[in-house]
Structure 1
Amino acid sequence: MAHEPTGAGESEILAVSLRAYLSETGFSFTGLTGKEVTQCITRAVVQWVGASGWRCRTEAQMRYIDPPRLKDGGCLSYWSPSWSAYLDLRVVRKDGQPVAVEIDRADESTAVDKLRDEALRGRPALWIRWHGALRAELPAGVARLHLPTRSSKAPLRYSLAPVAGTEAITTGQAVTLEARADAQRRDQQRIADEKRAAARPQEPGPTRCY
């Protein structure tokens, strides 16, 4: 049966393509640390990118749509979100928009915010989540491929059975034209604000108590 894309459109199609590639190549691993799992999955995604005739950049810089705000953390003031952000992978294609890819073990990360903003810019956004429970909702335009790893204790190690092609893919709703237009307006406003800020004398940054 053909897979019919839903809300996330191209993001979901890419997730299906990646899942099929991992299934065809029998992707699996055994007894890896968390860091090793992320590296292993990253290598597999890079290989899928190459097999698709594309190229990719690791740790690709991106910018949030809304500017960071200076927050008071008691002894520590900090910017949230941070000024600099990086995608795990940015896939560059000749025949389409660049694709934002994040690879994570847990939901408690900045991946969702980064992928949300990339999707609002009209770019496909793919989240590869391995291990652990999944959040119920996804931002509009984002597709998530879940790789259900198993873990052992003492020492903590992770394993993944060969991908079977049935691993869950979930998606957010479609990005509306209104949401995209609003994001573009806010994005341009942030760029203008940054240019004005750069022209002013530098203000003190976050402070720390000692």
Structure 2
Amino acid sequence: MALELTAAGESEILAAALRTYLSETRFAFTGLTGKEATLCITRAVAGWAKASGWRSRWEAPMRYIDPPRQMNGGCRIYWSPPWSAYLDLRLVRKEGPPVAVEIDREDDSTAVDKLRDEALRGRPALWIRWHGALRAELPAGVARLHLPTRSSRSPVRCSLTPVTSAAAIALGEAVTPEVRADALHRDQQRIAEEKHAAALPRGLGPIRC
């Protein structure tokens, strides 16, 4: 079935489509470690992409829009944040821009920053959040699908009951044309600064203290 865009943006449409897929396939798991649960969810999202006729790229590289700053760590100088990062999944479609996907069990991650920049570039951005309390504010253009899980004590094992059509979806504001134009301009500036940084002579390595 073709998906129609709404004023809330394509991220919302895709989050709802993923929720429907998980509900129809009765997606669930029991007794998994945190790492195993994340992998299980990632495979389910990749399955949704395959069923939609898309390709999935795992650990897909991406670039932040704003350039990092050189930081003095005492014994070494480093870039913060780094020039590049990785998305859990990038879903490549024949029509339309690729979809950025991050899958996390906590809010304490770089997912928000990565998805924010992908959304500013005009790409749908989905955050699959499971377990833990939801505290992070969603940036413009990002949709979050929440999959609540239960966990046992020592050893910690996580379980998810079959996903239903009531699974919560939260949305950031729409990205305005003005904000997107400014982001794309800053992105071009970042590309130029990255090329300049790459052309600088390489140092001799970190200073040992």
Please give the TM-score of this superposition, normalised by the length of structure 1: 0.92
User: Aligned letter for 2:46?
Assistant: V
Match of 1:49 in 2: 49
Match of 2:81 in 1: 81
Map residues 191-202 of structure 1 onto 2, 5 A cutoff: 191-202=191-202
User: Aligned letter for 1:196?
Assistant: H
Match of 2:126 in 1: 126
Whether contact under 8 Å (1:119, 1:125) holds in the other structure is yes
In structure 1, what is the Cα distance between the partners aligned to 2:5 and 2:54?
24
Deviation at 1:196, TM superposition (A): 2.4
In structure 1, what is the Cα distance between the partners aligned to 2:106 and 2:207?
29
Please give the TM-score of this superposition, normalised by the length of structure 2: 0.92
In structure 2, what is the Cα distance between the partners aligned to 1:181 and 1:21?
34
CA RMSD of superposed structures (Å): 1.9
Match of 2:38 in 1: 38
Map residues 1-210 of structure 1 onto 2, 5 A cutoff: 5=6, 7=8, 9-74=9-74, 77-135=77-135, 137-203=137-203, 207=206, 210=209
Whether contact under 8 Å (1:23, 1:165) holds in the other structure is yes
Whether contact under 8 Å (1:31, 1:159) holds in the other structure is yes
Unaligned stretches of 5+ in structure 2? none
Q: Structure 1, residues 34-68: CA drift from partner, whole Å, max 9, x if none?
A: 00001100110011001111111000000000111
In structure 2, what is the Cα distance between the partners aligned to 1:182 and 1:170?
25
Unaligned stretches of 5+ in structure 1? none
Shift in alpha-carbon separation, 1:96–1:33, aligned structure 2, 3 A: same
Whether contact under 8 Å (2:107, 2:136) holds in the other structure is no
Shift in alpha-carbon separation, 1:41–1:100, aligned structure 2, 3 A: same
Shift in alpha-carbon separation, 1:76–1:32, aligned structure 2, 3 A: farther
Whether contact under 8 Å (1:105, 1:129) holds in the other structure is yes
Whether contact under 8 Å (1:6, 1:12) holds in the other structure is no
- Identity across the alignment (%): 73
Whether contact under 8 Å (1:100, 1:115) holds in the other structure is yes
In structure 1, what is the Cα distance between the partners aligned to 2:76 and 2:65?
25
Whether contact under 8 Å (1:128, 1:146) holds in the other structure is yes
User: Aligned letter for 2:95?
Assistant: D
Q: Structure 1, residues 166-209: CA drift from partner, whole Å, max 9, x if none?
A: 1100010000111111111111011112222333323466x465
In structure 2, what is the Cα distance between the partners aligned to 1:209 and 1:156?
40
Aligned length: 206
In structure 1, what is the Cα distance between the partners aligned to 2:73 and 2:197?
23
Deviation at 1:136, TM superposition (A): 5.2
Task: Determine helix, strand or coil for the equivalent of 2:201.
Answer: coil
Shift in alpha-carbon separation, 1:30–1:179, aligned structure 2, 3 A: same
